């Protein structure tokens, strides 16, 4: 008997029938197994990911977000995909049916006088047609899947109550309806375009379209001609629809001097678009009429006219712009510049800014300083970078802890509003000395506590005073006591951890020993069953999870622990601020994050970084221990947040439901303030002529550095009494200078307390008076002989001098500038605050303390005893303040200060300063002797 290799080449044609029948089922079964295995590899991870994600949303109480979003994506994607595939397949099937059945497509082409037969593709068309329809349907389905938010927004849209200045439509039309119509137009173009191209190709292949021997002659069978003309008519109706949509989209144009429709757009482009739309409708009608006519001349004439409107759309607006607008641009564009100014100010919430004028004539006195003690006591002397470096050296305590950022906030301490800087101590798993699977996922699971201190107080060694420090956190202020210091959810935490397991969780170090404590919170997803362990092992790609003996029936998995990513999942429609901050409330730690609703669909508004509308509409709170997340509506007038509240009912709560203790710590966020400041530097000019000529253009103030470079100032928080107000408040502020100049033009403040929250105030200086700006002040400080001498002396001794951020501090209707000076020795990386420089008008003083520098400039004012502001570590109470009425006690305190500064100068080798302090000490002692 022959082996298989010995069989002849034509053996398959002579196989016994039974032998062939036995082979075929085996091949079919193999293919089925391969398909099943491939489906399992694809579907199982997707299913595991979806189910575990749903468990995560369910645990947080936001399953509405998951189900609404997923069902909308799937439903819209499936509907669009199926409709697309069905319509295209129907057209292709109809083309196949209307094509000649007997035509073998044995047509001939004439090439260089010779007839060459073409290959026969007609047999492939019935096989490729359904594949082409499915491919187009899949592409359209993916587009529909990605348009889920557009669909939900048009369905649940809230009106703005404002209309655009050209068409008079509600702004909601541009935010919600127009994007949806644009998406529909793109889909219809795909639908009709693919159908037309596919049917034409089928008719061509099957010979329904027959080209003659000349290049321009061809004939089409009657059924095929009617089909193609119908699709051709549908195509031009889509063109007409797109042209109609192009009219309102003119309001987002960039062709004129400002954003929005210009004079040329309204008086040239808009009429052309109207004409093109009418012509497209006429061409569609002619195509339908031609079904009953033999001639195609009417269609060709219509298409020719349509093409002329396209050419006219290029030539006519350009001619109007060049010969009519350009010679008289300001006169022609004034109205549209007004539209742009009004819309931009409205879209960026600048229309409600309160503008106040400052005289610039006020000269500060010691009485002004005394009246604004609360402002002086809250001047920030510590830069974020310097403070982070200090914390890294003094408060990290273990290598696996890290201070990621420093936040500014305010607390009432002993009945006084006090600005503080705080930084959470988070766990950094990549710094573990022994990194392994157990340590990273079971043992080291969380950060611990924070450091917190006042912004203005310094120890005699030049280090920050801390109200909260060490592990476990020790608080010198009873109201800042922390009962639950564990941080399972933070800014750096994002790797998964397993809690309530057989492995002891490291809580905090205590000397040479470690303290362990298992998680007792409410966060996390149950992972006690083997089924869930399998699903999460697939999700994380972690097979060790299935082999672990440390999991119990009560075990939980905490994942997506980074608060920004956590919030972004439960609110994908919001844009979150880059700086969430930690708050102490009732002994627990909470993260507060600001969220924005943004868009680029506000008509006539200027676009900045892809945004031309923004509102700080939501405040988010995340429990650092439990992981609970709550979203509160901060701006109920925002139509965008109203729309999302309708889409996801119950997920956005009124701000009144936020605990009062947390509401007291809400602050105006930096990201939106930066954007508003940038926009306002141009759009404070509300007169078209001034705006057009950029006569009063501002820039955010820059601060010079010692190396000659300058950097744009960042906004900063402070507590101060605004000019014209009765009490101090927590604000965010930023100064402005005129374009290409260094003198101060104005400063903007965002208020954060009580009923004034969210209000923006701008204080303008008179243009006829020069007020020194930050760059000029820094230059004067660097040129000051005393400052220069001291810096040179320190540099020669090997120490590194770092100049801190220059703070612009408004007092009454004037300003003082404060800049800290830090010193780093060669042997230590810890920055020490060694000098405080104060500039006021023409005067500059550099002293070891802020109160000393102020006293040097404004005279011997009653000193601000920063040490007396520090609560006692044992009692938690602040010592009583010395009363200014006791003159002798005041002089004694001054004498002590001069003596301490003299000793400090002696240690630093600054003998010139030492001599000055001794002289001042002698003068004070002489006054004391006279009083006796």
In whole angstroms, give the CA distance from residue 203 to residue 749: 70
Q: Where are the beta strands (DSSP E) in 230-321?
A: none
% of the chain beyond a pLDDT of 90: 62
User: How is residue 744 written in tokens?
Assistant: 């101060």
At 886 the pLDDT is: 38
User: Does residue 344 have a pLDDT over 90?
Assistant: yes
Token pair in block for residue 318? 């350009």
3-state secondary structure of 154: helix
For residues 349 and 615, is the Cβ–Cβ distance under 8 A? Answer: yes
Residue with tokens 């649940």: 156
Separation between Cα atoms, residue 894 and residue 905, nearest integer Å:
16
CA gap 522, 524 in Å, rounded: 7
3-state secondary structure of 599: strand
Distance of alpha carbon 819 from alpha carbon 838, whole angstroms: 7
Count the residues in the chain.
Answer: 932
Q: Which residues of 155-192 are buried (b: 16+ CB within 10 A; e: fewer)?
A: ebbbebeeebbbeebbbbbbbbbbbbbbbbbebbebbb
| CA 43 to chain CA mean position, Å | 33
Residue 895 CB coordination number (10 Å):
18
CB-based contacts of 533: which residues, under 8 Å, 6+ apart? 527, 545, 546, 551
pLDDT classification of 298: cutoffs 50, 70, 90: confident
- Which residue did the predictor score with more confidence, 850 or 359? 850
- Tell me the two tokens of residue 150: 């557009």
Query: Is pLDDT above 80 for 17?
Result: no
Q: What is the mean pLDDT of residues 646-666?
A: 95
pLDDT digit string, tens, across residues 403-416: 989 999 999 998 89
Using a pLDDT cut of 70, give the percent of the chain over it.
87
Nearest partner of 751 among 735, 733, 770, 731, judged by Cα:
731
Helix residue ranges per DSSP H, 173-250: 178-206, 222-249
**pLDDT tens-digit readout, 891-922:** 777 777 778 777 777 666 666 667 777 877 77
Phi-psi region of 369 (alpha: psi -120 to 50; beta: other; left: phi over 0): alpha
3-class DSSP assignment, residue 384 = helix
Nearest to 465 by CA among 338, 550, 377, 593: 377
Q: With bands split at pLDDT 50, 70 and 90, how would you rate the model's confidence at 24?
A: low
Per-residue pLDDT tens digits for 196-253: 999 999 888 887 777 655 555 567 788 889 999 999 999 999 999 999 999 999 999 9
Q: Determine how β-strand 575-576 pairs with β-strand 556-558.
A: unpaired
Instruction: Read off the pLDDT of residues 46-57 as tens digits, 9 standing for 90 and up.
Output: 889 999 999 999
User: Which of 716, 710, 743, 725 lies closest to 809 in space, CA to CA?
Assistant: 716
> What is the pLDDT, as a whole number, of residue 883?
36
- Cα 205 to Cα 214: distance, rounded to the nearest angstrom: 19
**Contact at 8 Å (CB) between 172 and 160?**
yes
Strands 760-764 and 354-357, by their bridges, are: parallel
What does the block give as tokens for 492?
């750096």
Residues 472-501: pLDDT tens digits? 999 999 999 999 999 999 998 778 999 999
Q: Kind of pairing, strands 629-633 and 652-654?
A: parallel
**DSSP letter assigned to residue 522:** S
Please say whether the beta carbons of 62 and 70 come within 8 A.
Answer: no
Please tell me which of 29-33, 540-544, 758-762 the model is most confident about, judged by mean pLDDT. Answer: 758-762
Q: How many CB atoms lie within 10 A of CB 315?
A: 11
Q: Where are the alpha helices (DSSP H) in 61-124?
A: 63-98
Task: Give the residue, 762 or 111, on which the prediction is more confident.
Answer: 762
The SS3 of residue 427 is strand
Residues 863, 864, 869, 870: what is their CA dihedral angle, to the nearest 10 degrees?
Answer: -70
Write out the H or E segment, with its range, that includes residue 930: helix 911-931
Identify the CA nearest to 403 among candidates 426, 387, 430: 426
Residue 761's Cα: distance from chain center in Å?
Answer: 24
pTM, two decimals, is 0.85
Lowest mean pLDDT segment, chosen from 674-688, 722-736, 786-800: 786-800
Report d(CA 259, CA 341) in Å as an integer.
9
- How many Cβ atoms are within 10 Å of 624's Cβ, its own excluded? 28
d(CA 540, CA 371): 61
| pLDDT per residue as tens digits for the range 839-878 | 998 889 999 999 999 998 887 544 444 333 344 433 333 3
Residue 100: predicted pLDDT: 77
Report, as an integer, the average pLDDT of 321-345: 95
CB burial string 404-417: b at 16+ within 10 A, e below: ebbbbbbbebeeeb
Spatial neighbors of 499 by CB under 8 A, at least 6 apart, are 445, 505, 518, 519, 521, 524, 555, 556, 557, 558
What average pLDDT does the structure give for the chain? 86
pLDDT at 15: 47
375 is written with which tokens?
Answer: 């402002």
Least confident of 19-23, 240-244, 304-308, 613-617: 19-23
Which SS3 state, helix, strand or coil, does residue 769 take?
Answer: coil
Query: Residue 792: is it exposed, middle or buried by C-beta count within 10 angstroms (0-12/13-18/19+)?
Result: exposed
The dihedrals phi and psi of 425, each to the nearest 5 degrees, come to -95, 100
pLDDT tier at 339, thresholds 50, 70, 90: very high
* Average pLDDT of the segment spanning 529-549: 91
Find the Cα–Cα–Cα–Cα dihedral 376, 377, 382, 388, rounded to 10°: -150
Give mean pLDDT, residues 657-673.
Answer: 95
The Cα 80–Cα 279 span in angstroms is 29
The DSSP bridge pattern shows strands 807-811 and 218-220 to be: unpaired
More confident residue, 928 or 719: 719
* pLDDT band at residue 393 using 50, 70 and 90 as cut-offs: confident
Q: What are the Cα distances from residue 727, in Å, to 233, 418, 625, 722, 883? A: 72, 13, 36, 8, 22
Which of 471, 422, 585, 468 is closest to 873 using CA atoms? 468
Contact indicator for 570, 651 with CB cutoff of 8 Å: yes
How big is the CA angle at 416 (ends 422 and 857), to the nearest 5 degrees?
A: 85
Quote the pLDDT of residue 25: 60
What's the start-to-end Cα distance of the chain, in Å? Answer: 136
Q: Does the structure show a pLDDT above 50 at 388?
A: yes
């Amino acid at each position: 008997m022959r082996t298989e290799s010995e069989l002849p080449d034509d053996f398959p044609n002579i196989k016994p029938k039974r032998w062939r029948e036995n082979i075929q089922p085996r091949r079919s079964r193999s293919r089925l197994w391969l398909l099943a295995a491939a489906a399992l590899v694809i579907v199982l991870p997707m299913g595991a990911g979806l189910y575990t994600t749903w468990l995560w949303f369910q645990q947080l109480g936001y399953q509405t977000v998951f189900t609404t979003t997923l069902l909308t994506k799937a439903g819209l994607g499936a509907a669009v995909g199926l409709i697309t595939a069905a319509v295209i397949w129907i057209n292709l099937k109809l083309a196949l049916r209307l094509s000649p059945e007997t035509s073998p497509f044995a047509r001939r082409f004439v090439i260089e006088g010779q007839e060459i037969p073409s290959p026969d593709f007609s047999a492939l068309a019935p096989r490729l047609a359904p594949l082409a329809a499915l491919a187009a349907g899949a592409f359209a389905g993916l587009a529909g899947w990605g348009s889920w938010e557009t669909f939900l927004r048009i369905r649940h849209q809230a009106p703005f109550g404002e209309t655009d200045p050209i068409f008079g439509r509600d702004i909601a039309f541009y935010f919600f309806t127009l994007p949806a119509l644009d998406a529909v137009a793109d889909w219809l173009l795909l639908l009709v375009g693919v159908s037309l191209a596919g049917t034409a190709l089928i008719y061509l292949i099957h010979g329904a379209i027959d080209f003659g021997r000349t290049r321009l002659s061809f004939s089409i069978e009657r059924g095929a001609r009617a089909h193609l003309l119908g699709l051709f008519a549908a195509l031009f109706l889509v063109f007409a629809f797109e042209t109609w949509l192009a009219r309102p989209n003119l309001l987002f144009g960039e062709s004129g001097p400002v954003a929005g429709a210009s004079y040329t757009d309204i008086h040239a482009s808009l009429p052309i678009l109207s004409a093109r739309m009418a012509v497209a409708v006429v061409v569609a009608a002619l195509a339908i009429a031609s079904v009953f006519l033999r001639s195609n001349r009417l269609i060709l004439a219509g298409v020719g006219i349509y093409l002329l409107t396209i050419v006219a759309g290029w030539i006519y607006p350009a001619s109007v712009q060049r010969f009519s607008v350009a010679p008289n641009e300001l006169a022609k564009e004034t109205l549209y510049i007004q539209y742009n100014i009004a819309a931009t100010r409205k879209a960026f919430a600048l229309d409600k800014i309160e503008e106040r004028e400052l005289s610039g004539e006020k000269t500060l006195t010691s009485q002004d300083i005394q009246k604004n003690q609360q402002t002086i006591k809250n001047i920030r002397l510590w830069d974020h970078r310097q403070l982070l470096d200090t914390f890294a050296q003094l408060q990290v305590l273990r290598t696996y802890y890290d201070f990621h950022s420093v936040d500014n906030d305010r607390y009432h301490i002993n009945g006084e509003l006090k600005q503080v800087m705080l930084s959470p101590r988070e766990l950094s798993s990549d710094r573990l000395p022994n990194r392994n699977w157990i340590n990273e996922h079971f043992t080291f699971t969380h950060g611990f506590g924070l450091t917190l201190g006042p912004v203005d107080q310094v120890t005699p060694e030049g280090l920050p005073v801390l109200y909260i420090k060490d592990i476990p956190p020790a608080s010198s202020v009873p109201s800042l006591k922390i009962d639950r210091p564990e941080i399972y959810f933070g800014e750096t935490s994002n790797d998964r951890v397993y809690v309530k397991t057989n492995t002891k969780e490291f809580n905090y170090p205590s000397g040479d020993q470690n303290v362990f404590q298992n998680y007792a919170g409410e966060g996390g997803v149950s992972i006690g069953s083997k089924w869930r362990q399998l699903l999460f092992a697939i999700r994380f790609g972690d097979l060790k999870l299935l082999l672990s003996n440390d999991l119990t029936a009560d075990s939980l998995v905490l994942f997506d622990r980074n608060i920004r990513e956590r919030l972004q999942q439960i609110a994908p429609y919001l844009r979150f601020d880059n700086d969430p901050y930690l708050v102490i409330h009732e002994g627990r730690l909470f993260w507060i994050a600001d969220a924005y609703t943004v868009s680029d669909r506000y008509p006539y508004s200027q676009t900045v970084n892809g945004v031309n509308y923004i509102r700080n509409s939501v405040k988010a709170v995340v429990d650092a221990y439990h992981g609970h997340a709550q979203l509160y509506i901060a701006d109920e007038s925002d139509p965008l947040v109203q729309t999302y509240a309708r889409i996801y009912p119950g997920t956005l709560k009124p701000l009144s439901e936020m605990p009062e203790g947390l509401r007291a710590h809400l602050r105006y966020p930096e990201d939106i303030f930066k954007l508003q400041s940038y926009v306002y530097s141009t759009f404070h000019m509300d007169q078209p002529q001034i705006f057009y000529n950029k006569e009063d253009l501002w820039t955010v103030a820059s601060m010079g550095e010692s190396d000659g470079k300058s950097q744009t100032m960042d906004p900063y928080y402070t507590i101060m009494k605004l000019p014209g107000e009765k009490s101090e408040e927590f604000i965010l502020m930023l100064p402005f200078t005129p374009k290409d100049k260094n003198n101060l033009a104005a400063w903007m403040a965002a208020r954060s307390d009580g009923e004034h929250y969210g209000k923006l105030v701008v204080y303008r200086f008179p243009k006829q008076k020069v007020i020194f700006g930050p760059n000029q002040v820094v230059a004067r400080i660097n040129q000051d002989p005393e400052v220069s001498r001291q810096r040179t002396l320190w540099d020669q001794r090997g120490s590194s001098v770092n100049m801190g951020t220059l703070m612009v501090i408004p007092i009454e209707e004037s300003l003082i500038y404060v800049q800290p000076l830090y010193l780093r020795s060669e042997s230590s990386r810890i920055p020490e605050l060694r000098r405080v420089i104060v500039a006021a008008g023409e005067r500059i003083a550099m002293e070891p303390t802020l109160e000393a520098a102020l006293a040097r400039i404004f005279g011997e004012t009653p000193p601000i005893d920063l040490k007396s502001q520090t609560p006692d570590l044992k009692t938690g109470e602040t010592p009583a303040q010395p009363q200014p009425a006791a003159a002798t006690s005041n002089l004694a305190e001054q004498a002590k200060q001069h003596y301490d500064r003299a000793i400090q100068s002696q240690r630093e080798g600054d003998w010139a300063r030492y001599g000055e302090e001794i002289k001042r000490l002698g003068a004070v002692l002489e006054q004391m002797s006279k009083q006796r």
